[in-house]
Amino acid sequence: MSRTYPLREQGTFLVVESTGWDRRLPVVADGKRLIGHAGAVLLRRCADRTGLTEALAKVLPSSAVAGWRDRAGLLVHLALAIVLGASNLSEAEQLQLHHRPLFGPEASDSTARRALAALDEAALAKIAKVRARVRRHVWGLLHLRPGGFPWLVVAGKRLCGWIVIDLDATVITSASKKAGAAVTFKKTFGFDPLAAWCANTTESLSMLLRPGNAGANTVADHIAVLTDALAQIPGSSAAKILIRVDGAGATHGLLEHLEALNTTRRTVRYTVGWKICALPPRLPAILPLPAAPPGPHPPPGRACRAAGPHRGRTRATPPTVPRAGAARRQPPGYATSTPAFPQRRGYTSSIT
């Protein structure tokens, strides 16, 4: 199906297809009819060539009524507008208006609002299945490229065969009192969505929109986002998956859920953050003290006399804190320069 629309600059007509707009598209350097944000062309072509636009068109509403805006193209262009920096539907409309000579007539902000409001749970489930199917195709192409699939490198070691998922919340500020906006834990005003990202490909796998005052360590939210993320990973039922969460994931409910994800076919490993305000009583037994270097050493916390030109002055020796194995204090050696810091604030440690 093709449509025609007038080009105001030349007064002629151009035939545009839903996924064939880039046919016979020349790239010239004559300085005429310049269009900014030319990278949007590559993103739109990527959506078309991978089958995303066509697959969305099959699950979204359509109509043959004159003036109907294709919902699949509308969603794709809203995604492009976000990439280009648009923060609301009005800015997205202006970007589409700027790209009209390339992509055809723009959809108004009211049309985009109606299209988004019509997406119920059933439509969102269909879109999620489309994204998973297209992602399987794209990841298959990544495996065939010369460099292969982008396996992550951690501490100089290449994690071949491991899919790494990062769970984290991101505070988004709001300039006005919009629906769901509230005071965040960072004393700002806005939203606190929770998202899951694939560290291998830097893709957004799933996201849960939450108000600004949403709990940081809500187990149900983490499990819901992680479940949707696993559904987006090709062959997740028989894969090696590493899940990384910050201190918000240090809850019994989430850790038990992560342990339960292991099956005879799937291997799940995880790392979460843990804020240590006081040294747990069992931690010294689990993490033994490192061997002390030879030479006389004063007891921890005692005062000793400094040698050299500052002789006669005293300085406090910081208490020794066990460090080894899976516990890492950030930043290393910080307690040496400020010995009272552990008692006042605690450390943020990563426990695997």
For 192, the 3-state DSSP assignment is coil
What CA–CA distance (Å, rounded) separates 52 from 259? 34
pLDDT in tens, 67-112: 788 888 899 999 999 988 888 889 889 888 888 878 878 888 898 9
Q: Which residue from 301, 305, 293 is spatially nearest to 342, judged by alpha carbons?
A: 301
Strands 189-191 and 172-173: antiparallel
Per-residue pLDDT at 15 exceeds 50: no
- Res. 12: pLDDT tops 60: no
Task: Give the count of beta carbons closer than 10 Å to the beta carbon of residue 55.
Answer: 20
CA distance 234 to 124: 19
Name the nearest CA neighbour of 211 among 246, 245, 174, 175. Answer: 174
Tens of pLDDT, residues 141-178: 999 999 899 999 888 889 999 999 999 998 888 888 88
Between 3-7, 21-25, 189-193, the lowest mean confidence (pLDDT) is in: 3-7
pLDDT in tens, 297-326: 555 544 444 444 444 444 444 444 443 334
- Phi and psi of 13, rounded to 5°? -120, 145
Q: Which residues fall within 8 angstroms of residue 276, CB to CB, at 6 or more apart?
A: 346, 347, 348, 349
∠196-199-205 over CA atoms, to 5°? 35
Domains of the chain: 2-25+36-121 (no CATH), 150-271 (3.30.420), 277-285+326-352 (no CATH)
